[in-house]
Amino acid sequence: MERDIRTIVSQMTLEEKAGMCSGRDFWHLKGVERLGVPEVMVSDGPHGLRKQNEKADHLGANESIKAVCFPTACATACSFDRELLRELGEALGDECQAEDVSVILGPAVNIKRSPLCGRNFEYFSEDPYLASQMAAAHIQGVQSKNVGTSIKHFAANNQEYRRLSCSSEIDERTLREIYLAAFETAVRDGKPDTVMCSYNKINGTFASENHWLLTEVLRDEWGFEGYVMSDWGAVNDRVRGLEAGLDLEMPASGGHTDAEIVAAVKDGTLDEAVLNRAVERILRIIFKFADHRRPGDFDKEKHDRLAEKIAEESMVLLKNDGLLPLPKAGKKIAFIGKFAQKPRFQGGGSSHINSCKITGALAAAGQLPEITSDITYAQGYDTAEERTDPALLAEAVKAAEEADVAVIFAGLPDAFESEGYDRSHMQMPECQNELIREILRVQKNTVVVLHNGSPVEMPWAGDVNAILESYLCGQAVGAAQVRLLFGLANPCGKLAETIPLKLQDNPSYLNFPGDGQTVEYKEGVFVGYRYYDTKEMDVRFPFGHGLSSTTFQYSDMQLSRGQLSDSDTLTVSLKVKNTGTVAGKEIVQLYVADRTGAANRPVKELKNFTKVFLEPGQEKTVEMTLDKRSFAWYNTRIHDWYAATGDYEILAGASSRDIRLTKTVHFVTETPLPFHIHSKT
């Protein structure tokens, strides 16, 4: 049914229109019964549905309905799998339809500037291209079910410290290339129904009243057509916000700001047309949902299996000297650490899901008929106090000594990372490092399985035989871990961020999190691997790194043309062969290196990727396209993307530090640069 939105708006009173621009309560928008406008609900996500029926809050403190907790974004990004993210989105869309939720709040695409940000677990990557691809697929999946998404937190909200007031001070080029780029591509490709503006200021202006951000960039440049909502409580000046392009204030303002809008229209300071436009945008999305309701139930068990599949495709095998896969039969294997029994699989705060089921590795191993090896368990340390308990340590060491292999389930406790605050260091609790050290004394076959939303320092990395990074991998985490550890599945995730050796190596180290008033992004575009790789620094594990139980050979890279210009595309093809004995998936990454010397740029940047499944011995040709944007940087002389004339290297790699094939292409720009004449020309 095509609704005549303009006519509905024209029938509304001024008060009704102002009312539409703020929530009815914590989670609902207002409706106008006499005009058939329903009151719709929005709910948190995005790695599950946090629908609250009773007491509402935005900290995840009060209970929400039982739902399926899928892996969080820090994990799913490591799948580098657009299809998988789409599938995740479709499942969320089904849950929202079943629960009558019109918009699920997310995905969150803020860049991981520092490993310390408390919400890194909710964010995809340090790389804007990867983040944009994951987000666009997520959005398309959810919205294919006629449920809206709200890409967040727009923009430059890269820390929790003073997030309500701090100003992110960022130069134009850095903002465009790093902090806006993930939003830009996701908005253009995914077309989210809504965008959530962040709490912070950007260069002195609150995101919620930033006309440049919410209107000039988001709508005029990127073509966004949905409504912008505020993060919960992010409104500073309501009327200024409306003029800037903030359509909906959340949650309810108790009528207070509605009255401000009414007064501003009445005294002529606010053009009523601005209000009408905001209401039209909100109504269009309300009816998009309401007119396509498909009430029904969803299959929780099926979604639990999907959560397991996503977890399996997302975990990253960081190290393996040959100990993995573990023997399925005939051996004694000690699972050590509380996370084997009670895994950490999601983060704290507004995204906290009330999981309908939780499977830890210990339970999963017991349930799988393929695994008959004898599995023992020891807790290892005092989990309540997060400190060494001599008796528990002795018990764990004994269990490790008596086994053929020790698998230590380690990582960050809940309190170490959450929405609302940042970490102050990158270390695991000392009791866990001590546990690993003590076990290494008695057991030469040791695996560490990590549970964390953001990188940790791994002083023991060189001494253990294998490391499996699970991130925060959702409610089915244990089942996926066990399948990967015992070779029932082949690891295929790769890191969506660099794991530095230590916090001090991170490029934002000297300027994070600022002084509470401002935070200066002085490292510029050199974020993550853009910095580490340009400086050729040693890292613990590089961006894009991840091992498999098989090996892949890259060959025969072909470029569809030797030269291209602004409106051309370039197709890169290459062959990938599975040269091992088990089936597996490889993530092929395409980086571009600017050799023109026209600007100070990172040594390489990710511009495309693909994931390919190969049976043993099988070879496939993969293709990826590049266009002007893949070569361009944001040139502040023209306030636009610009690729200079000259040579660029196309690098195909298994990680940012494992480039397998290289070819050069010549770019010829069609964009003239202005020539500024001054006294020193």
Q: Which residues are catalytic?
A: 231
Write the CB contacts of 13 (distance below 8 Å, at least 6 apart in sequence). Answer: none
Token pair for 445: 């076959």
Min separation Cβ 573 and ligand BGC, Å: 40
| Cβ nearer to ligand BGC, comparing 81 with 422 | 422
Min separation Cβ 346 and ligand BGC, Å: 14
Q: Are strands 605-614 and 619-627 parallel, antiparallel or unpaired?
A: unpaired
Min separation Cβ 166 and ligand BGC, Å: 14
Q: Which residue is nearest to ligand BGC (CB)?
A: 58
What SS3 state is found at 252? coil
Token pair for 140: 């398309």
530-536 long-range Cβ contacts below 8 angstroms, 24+ apart: 530/602, 530/603, 530/605, 531/507, 531/602, 532/498, 532/500, 532/505, 532/507, 533/602, 533/603, 533/604, 533/656, 533/657, 534/602, 534/603
Min separation Cβ 71 and ligand BGC, Å: 18
In this structure, the dihedral spanned by the alpha carbons of residues 412, 492, 464 and 543, taken in order and rounded to 10 degrees, is -70
**For residue 444, how many other CB atoms are within 10 A of its CB?**
12
Distance CA(347)–CA(483), nearest Å, equals 23
220: closest CA among 258, 168, 184?
A: 184
Q: Are strands 374-378 and 332-336 parallel, antiparallel or unpaired?
A: parallel
| Cβ nearer to ligand BGC, comparing 127 with 231 | 231
Q: Which H or E run contains 577?
A: strand 569-578
Q: Cis check for the bond before 46: say yes or no (omega within 30 of 0).
A: yes
Q: Cis check for the bond before 390: say yes or no (omega within 30 of 0).
A: no
Min separation Cβ 56 and ligand BGC, Å: 9
Residue with tokens 């390489």: 604
| Cβ nearer to ligand BGC, comparing 230 with 656 | 230
The pair phi, psi for residue 617, each rounded to 5°, is 80, -15
Write the CB contacts of 618 (distance below 8 Å, at least 6 apart in sequence). Answer: 577, 578
Contact 163/195 with Cβ under 8 angstroms?
A: no
| Cβ nearer to ligand BGC, comparing 350 with 578 | 350
What SS3 state is found at 614? strand
| Cβ nearer to ligand BGC, comparing 152 with 338 | 152
Distance CA(552)–CA(619), nearest Å, equals 9
| Cβ nearer to ligand BGC, comparing 22 with 350 | 350
- For 102, 270, 492, 547, 582, the CA distances from 585, given in Å and listed in that order, are 36, 56, 6, 10, 10
**For residue 299, how many other CB atoms are within 10 A of its CB?**
13
Min separation Cβ 349 and ligand BGC, Å: 7
Contact 262/14 with Cβ under 8 angstroms?
A: yes
Min separation Cβ 134 and ligand BGC, Å: 17
| Cβ nearer to ligand BGC, comparing 65 with 259 | 65
Min separation Cβ 155 and ligand BGC, Å: 13
Contact 303/69 with Cβ under 8 angstroms?
A: no
| Cβ nearer to ligand BGC, comparing 153 with 338 | 153
Got the DSSP string for 658-669?
Answer: EEEEEEEEEEE-
| Cβ nearer to ligand BGC, comparing 44 with 505 | 44
74: closest CA among 539, 443, 384, 451?
A: 451
| Cβ nearer to ligand BGC, comparing 200 with 445 | 200
- For 3, 478, 565, the CA distances from 561, given in Å and listed in that order, are 48, 47, 11
Min separation Cβ 254 and ligand BGC, Å: 17
Write the CB contacts of 347 (distance below 8 Å, at least 6 apart in sequence). Answer: 72, 119, 121, 122, 414, 417, 418, 419, 453, 472
| Cβ nearer to ligand BGC, comparing 56 with 98 | 56
Min separation Cβ 152 and ligand BGC, Å: 6
| Cβ nearer to ligand BGC, comparing 26 with 509 | 26
β partners of residue 625: 571
Min separation Cβ 547 and ligand BGC, Å: 33
| Cβ nearer to ligand BGC, comparing 58 with 577 | 58
Contact 468/486 with Cβ under 8 angstroms?
A: no
Min separation Cβ 247 and ligand BGC, Å: 16
Task: Decide: residue 666, CB within 10 A, 0-12 exposed, 13-18 middle, 19+ buried.
Answer: middle
Distance CA(284)–CA(205), nearest Å, equals 29
Query: Which residues are near ligand BGC by CB under 6 A?
Result: 44, 58, 105, 152-153, 231-232, 350
Residue with tokens 């923009």: 155
**For residue 665, how many other CB atoms are within 10 A of its CB?**
19
Min separation Cβ 394 and ligand BGC, Å: 44
Tell me the residue type at 321: D
